[in-house]
Amino acid sequence: YQPIQPSQDLLRIAQRPQPDNLHRLVACTWTSTGYHTRGERFHVTDGHRRMREWIHFNLLVGLQHFYVYDNSGSDHNNYNSTNKSDLSAIAEMFPDKVTIVKWPAKVCNNNPNNVDSCGERSSQYAA
């Protein structure tokens, strides 16, 4: 085994001073504190717990910062007077690691199960 010697160009790039606010590995997610399933059969309300767990896990594997596009404002039935109705409480648990962006947009193309459409739920898979 012989280690590969890095080129001079690669060494120069690696040794360049980096700005303090540069994150090498970030994640972006579009999420909510809760949501209704198609047809409003179920209302899932554990978004705070799931977001906290997801951020904690990804910090352990090396992500440095998270941009959370918070869709909680689009579900007006999700408000609870005893808890925050958005994900800002989660951001406060991870200071300098999470940036919350309010994104109260209604999901498009989320048709009920009985709609015969090849575009059904296409918004669920758009990157």
Which of 42 and 66 is assigned the larger pLDDT?
66
What is the reported pLDDT for 70? 85
Q: What is the pLDDT of residues 74-105, one digit of tens each?
A: 655 544 433 456 788 888 999 889 988 887 77
What is the reported pLDDT for 81? 37
The three-state DSSP-derived secondary structure of the chain is CCCCCCCHHHHHHHHCCCCCCCCCCEEEEEECCCEECHHHCCEECCHHHHHHHHHHHHHHCCCCEEEEEECHHHCHHHCCCCCCCCCHHHHHHCCCCEEEEECCCCCCCCCCCCCCCCCCCHHHCCC
Domain boundaries, the chain: 22-124
Q: What is the pLDDT of residues 14-44, one digit of tens each?
A: 676 766 667 778 888 887 777 777 667 777 7
| Averaged pLDDT score across all residues of the chain | 72
